Amino acid sequence: MTRQQERQRPKPRDREPELLLEGGKVLNVYSGELLESNVAVKGERIWYVGPRSDSIGQKTLRLDVSQKMLVPGYVEPHCHPWNVYNPVSLGEEFCRRGTTTLVCDNLIFYMMMGVEGFEAFMAAFSKMPVKFFWFMRLVPQTPLEQEDILFSAANLKRLLRNPLILSIGEITRWQELIKGNPKIEKMIRMARKLGKRVDGHTAGAKYENLSVISRAGVESCHESITAEEVLERLRLGYHVLLRESSLRQDLRTLLKGVRENPLSLRRVMLTTDGSSPAFHVASGMTDHLVRTAMEEGIDAVEAYRMVTLNPAVYFGLEDRLGGIAPGRDADIVVLKNLHDPTPELVISKGRIVSEKGALLSPFPEPDWNRFSSAPEGERKWRATRDFFEIPVKGMAEGQKLSFPVISLISTVITRIKRVEFPVRGGLVDLSAGDGFCRVAAMSRRGRWIANGILEGYADRIEGIASTFNTALEIIVIGRDLSAMASAVNRVVRMGGGIAAIEKGETVFEFPLPIGGMMSELSLKEVAEKESALKEFLSSRGYPFHDPLYTFIFLPNDFLPEVRINRRGVVDIKKDAVLWPARRLPKR
C-alpha cells in the first residue's frame, strides 16, 4: 500500500471495521497458541479476532495475510531517546522494525524544558504514529545549578500524575535507598499510590542490598550483567529487563539465567537501553533482541511475550497493549514467520505505518525551537587558552604537586591516580608527562570551569569539545591549550555539538542543535557521524569502543571512581571534591 492509498482510504460506516487482516496465523500471547484468525481493526482498536469476516463493509480494506504470522506490536520498556539521535529519529527506526510502544527517559527533555515545557512536549509526542510513554527521573545524573528547584517534590508530583508517565525510573543513586532519603521515599510512596511503577538501576548491588532496595519499593532492574544477578533479582520479586546495548552485549549470558526455568520468563522483559546509533543500524532494535532470545533456545512464544505482554503487564497496560485481542490497541506486526521478528508490515494505532522495512510517512517533526531554545547569552562569550591551565596557589617554583588524575580504564569507568607534577609560574606543568590530556568541565555560558588531568584517553588529541553530556554543559579534552579553546568556541558558535581542532583547523564537527545533545538527522546519518568520530579518535589514540559514552559519563555522579563536573574533580565514593572548580572572570 502506498502512502497515498493509505490517506485516500475511505471512512467506512460506523459499525464497519476499517481494516481486515485475513487468513494469517495470530500468536495468542495469552494462551500461547498459534491460531488461524481474521483480525478486524476499527479506529485505533482491534475490533474482532476469529474465524468470521462477515461484519465487514464494502469500504473495509481487506489485506490477505495468509501464510503470515501476526504478533503484537513490540514494547521497548526502557530507552533513552537522546543519544545524539532524537525521539523522532529513534522512534522511526523502532517503528520500522516493529516496536509500536516506547517507554522513554525524560531526563534531558525535562532539564531542557522544565515542567510545563515537558508536559507540552509529551502531549506533542502522544500524537506520533507510535506510542511514546515516559519514565521520570527523581534526581539528575550530575549536580546541577538549582537542582532542588527543578527536581522539587511539587514539580515531580505534578509530573507523576500525568498519564503519559508510567514510572519513576533509573534511580542511579541507589545507595540513597539504602541510607534512606526522605524525598525519594516520599516519591516512591506516591508513585505506588498512583499505580505507577518504580524502575530501579541497581548496578552492582548484592543480595542483601537488593533486599533493602526492594523493601524501599523498587520493582525492576535492567542492570544485571550475569545470569546469577538475573536470578537473584527474580527471586527477590523484581521484574528483570535483560539488556543488550552498545555498551554491554550481555543478552546471551543473561538468558542462561532463565532458560532452564521457563516460569521465570513471565517477569522478564528485553531492552536496548541507550544503545548508540551505529549499534542500532548494525544490529537492529527490539527485533534483534527477540531473534537473539530464540537463537539462545528460548521458546518462540516466550521470546515474543518478553517484548509484548510482559512489559504491558508490568506497566499496568495489559488492557490496551501486548496482545492481539478485541478491544486492545491495534498495534500489530506482520511477519513472514515466527523465526524472523523483523516485520513485513507494521500497524500502529490502527494504521499501516511501515511496509517491507520502509515507513509509509516520516514521523511529523516537532517544533524543536519551541522545546530547545538556547540559554540566554550562551553564544556571546569566547574561551581563551588560559582557561585550561591549572593554577596553583602557595607553591614555590619547581615544587611537586600531587594531582588527582582521572585515569580512564574503560569507556566509562575511571580510577583516581595521584601523580606528581612540577609547578611552574603558578601553574601545573604537564610538559614532561606522557599519556596525559587536560580535561575540563565548563559552563555553556562561560561562568565556571573545573580543570583536571585525564589519562588513557588519547595521546595525540589537540583539542576536542562536546556538549553531549548529562550536565548539558561542555566537556573539553586535549593536549594543546589553543586547540582546546578553539574547540570550545566552535561548539559554542554551533549552538551545541562536538568539534575537534588541530593546527587551528576544524578536523571533526558534529552539530547537535537540539539541546546540545541531539541531531535532527536520521538514525542512519547520525550513525555515520558516530562512526566518523570513533575513527577520528581511534587514529589519535583513543583505545575504547564508544567515545559518546565517555563524554556522557565523565560528569556523572554515580559511576566509580572519579568524575569531573561543576563541583570540580570529585571522588564519587567519598563524595569529596579533590580539585575544586573555579569561577571564570566576567567578560
Minimum gap (Å) between residue 78 Cβ and Fe ion: 6
Alpha-carbon distance 231 to 209, whole Å?
Answer: 15
Residue 508 phi, psi (nearest 5)? -150, 140
Minimum gap (Å) between residue 471 Cβ and Fe ion: 17
User: Cell for 506?
Assistant: 576544524
Nearer to Fe ion, 275 or 486 (CB): 275
Minimum gap (Å) between residue 137 Cβ and Fe ion: 11
Nearer to Fe ion, 111 or 450 (CB): 111
Residues of this chain that interact with Fe ion (CB under 5 A) are: 273
Cα distances from 329 to residues 93, 130, 309, 312, 350, in angstroms, run 21, 11, 13, 12, 7
Nearer to Fe ion, 77 or 568 (CB): 77
User: Cell for 514?
Assistant: 537540539
Minimum gap (Å) between residue 517 Cβ and Fe ion: 15
Nearer to Fe ion, 23 or 560 (CB): 560
Identity of residue 56:
I
Minimum gap (Å) between residue 80 Cβ and Fe ion: 6
Contact 359, 394 (CB under 8 A): no
- Report which DSSP code applies to 267: G
Nearer to Fe ion, 273 or 329 (CB): 273
Minimum gap (Å) between residue 199 Cβ and Fe ion: 9
What ranges make up the beta strands (E) of 395-473?
400-408, 414-424, 427-428, 436-442, 448-455, 463-466
* Number of helical (H) and strand (E) elements in the chain, helices listed first: 18, 30
Contact 224, 240 (CB under 8 A): yes
Q: Which position's Cβ is nearest Fe ion? A: 273
Minimum gap (Å) between residue 169 Cβ and Fe ion: 8
Nearer to Fe ion, 315 or 579 (CB): 315
Minimum gap (Å) between residue 98 Cβ and Fe ion: 21
Cα distances from 498 to residues 90, 347, 489, in angstroms, run 20, 37, 11
Of the candidates 190, 254, 193, 246, the residue with the CA atom closest to the CA atom of residue 222: 254
Nearer to Fe ion, 92 or 273 (CB): 273
Minimum gap (Å) between residue 43 Cβ and Fe ion: 34
Of the candidates 114, 303, 273, the residue with the CA atom closest to the CA atom of residue 199: 273
Minimum gap (Å) between residue 162 Cβ and Fe ion: 21
Q: Name the residue with cell 593546527.
A: 503
Alpha-carbon distance 500 to 437, whole Å?
Answer: 14
Nearer to Fe ion, 47 or 94 (CB): 94
Nearer to Fe ion, 273 or 502 (CB): 273
* 561 prior amide bond cis, ω within 30: yes
Identity of residue 534:
K
Helix (H) or strand (E) holding 39: strand 33-42
Dihedral sign computed on CA atoms, order 492, 497, 498, 501: negative
Nearer to Fe ion, 103 or 334 (CB): 103
